[in-house]
Amino acid sequence: MEEAQSTAREARRVLLAFLRQGFTAFGGPVAHIGYFRREFVERRGWVSEGAFADLLALCQFLPGPASSQLAMAIGLRRAGWLGLIAAWVGFTLPAATIMVALAYAAPLLQASWGGGWIHGLKIAAAAIVAQALVAMARTLARGPIRAGMAIGAAGGLVIANGAMAQIFALLAGAAFGFALLRADVPAPDTPDLAPAGRGDYRAAAGALAVFVFLLGALPFAAAALREPLLGLASVFYRTGSLVFGGGHVVLPLLQAEIVDRGWLDRDAFLAGYGAAQAIPGPLFSFAGFVGAAQTVAAGGWIGGLVAITAIFLPSLLLVAGVLPFWDRLKMRAEARGALAGVNAVVVGLLAAALWDPVLQSAVVRPRDWALVAAAYVFLTIARLPPWLVVLGFAAATGVFAL
């Protein structure tokens, strides 16, 4: 009884700590990691430096949003499953609330400002995706083999885009990485993690079984029952299961699933993605906007809640399922090679998305190229925070109709 009460108290502390991060962590996944290190390693001492680095390595290995998974892993270490859920809720709740509210506010802004502000959001989004592409290419597509895989994936996905083409590209990347990159990725340092007990392994195996079951069963259940919310959950769960390389990769996967199905028009989709750059917390909160916007006439907040839960659920199950086995898994050269191949393909996937739909939608006049270039300069040379660039371009194009 006392142990349960102690765990509940720790879970509340985890919730409050990550709720603070959810309100203040601007700047995207890389910045989030810096905030977490300062808060939970230096200030609170919840994890050691070595444990933090090892948890971060795990989150880079898994599909899904790395910063949110790192929050979940810290919460799991601190207060078990309750801590994992508390960390996710605290870190995600502010951004998710803002994005669902934006889905309701977007039609009002459209009426008062016209379409100019959406154009500004798309311009800023193009520059942010370009910045992410350059940064990811420097780390994930180094060397001729990885660069060739990235270029090949980009060319193939420009020609044959769509959800199935993207899944095939990721699988091909894993196969090529397994075959060609096994000796190219060094083994990580010795971990600094709490040892897993027998109960941890059983719970972990159960979490992985649920992950696989939902990935296979949700599409069939959605097709058989023809329930719109179940179909929405299926799409977002599959997206959350396949996003390698960080939050920006959610853009091409969701574009193929949402826009190509006609659930949401491309302009609204890209405007919501641009707006997600201007708020604190995880970029995956964009799912709340998409889910709410395409069901707003029928109680959109429910669609937003379903989308948010479904896109994060794979990460929750994978963190809980893989963490106890991580020490052994990460030492295998085959696993590291396959992941390196997937990450190289992710660079190509993001490059294809930058061309279509991002630039194809943002650049409608020749001068828009100059606006995209200006936004890129503000981000990379002036080093202005993304939220300031997003708000500035949305306001400028909305008020002055640039």
* The predicted structure's pLDDT at residue 73: 93
pLDDT at 251 over 80: no
117-139 pLDDT, tens digit per residue, is: 777 778 887 887 788 788 878 88
Look at residues 402, 385, 311, 379 and name the one whose alpha carbon lies nearest to residue 68: 311
Q: Which among 197-206, 209-218, 292-301, 326-335 has the top mean pLDDT?
A: 209-218
The reported pLDDT for the residue numbered 16 is 96
Phi, psi of 61 (to 5 degrees): -75, -35
The pLDDT score that the predictor gives to residue 30 is 65
**pLDDT computed for residue 27 by the predictor:** 65
pLDDT tens profile 73-86: 999 989 889 999 99
DSSP string, 212-265: HHHHHHHHHHHHHH--HHHHHHHHHHHHHHH--SSGGGHHHHHIIIIITTTSS-
Rounded to 5°, angle at Cα 253 from 250 and 258: 105
Q: Crossing angle for the helix pair 286-293 and 266-276, nearest 10 degrees?
A: 150
Q: Where does the pLDDT of residue 369 fall: very low under 50, low under 70, confident under 90, or very high at 90 and above?
A: very high
Can you read off the two tokens belonging to residue 113? 């400002």
The candidate with the shortest Cα–Cα distance to 313, out of 55, 39, 85, is 85
Confidence tier at 111 by pLDDT (50, 70, 90) = low
pLDDT at 50 over 80: no
pLDDT at residue 190 above 70?
A: no
Predicted confidence at residue 47, as pLDDT, reads 87
**What's the maximum distance between 2 C-alpha atoms anywhere in the chain?**
68
238 — pLDDT class (breaks 50, 70, 90): very high
Where is pLDDT greater, at 155 or 389? 155
Q: What pLDDT is attached to residue 209?
A: 96
- CA dihedral for 46, 52, 54, 55, sign (positive or negative): positive
How many angstroms separate the CA atoms of 313 and 72, rounded? 11
- Retrieve residue 221's tokens: 């259940």
Taking 90 as the threshold, does the pLDDT of residue 374 lie above it? yes
Q: To the nearest whole number, what is the mean pLDDT of the chain?
A: 82
Residues 6+ apart with CB under 8 A from 355: 158
Residue 340 reports pLDDT greater than 70: yes
pTM: predicted TM-score of the whole model, two decimal places: 0.77
**pLDDT for the residue numbered 296:** 56
Mean predicted confidence (pLDDT) in 50-62:
76
Q: Answer yes or no: are the C-beta atoms of 122 and 365 closer than 8 Å.
A: no
Separation between Cα atoms, residue 133 and residue 354, nearest integer Å: 8
Q: Which residue has the higher pLDDT, 186 or 349?
A: 349
Which residue's entry shows tokens 């028009």? 265
> Would you place residue 311 in the very low, low, confident or very high pLDDT band (cuts 50, 70, 90)?
very high
Question: Tell me, what's the pLDDT at 74?
Answer: 94
pLDDT of residue 201: 84
DSSP-derived secondary structure letter, 40:
I
What is the reported pLDDT for 86? 96
Helix then strand then coil, in percent of the chain rounded to 5, is 80, 0, 20
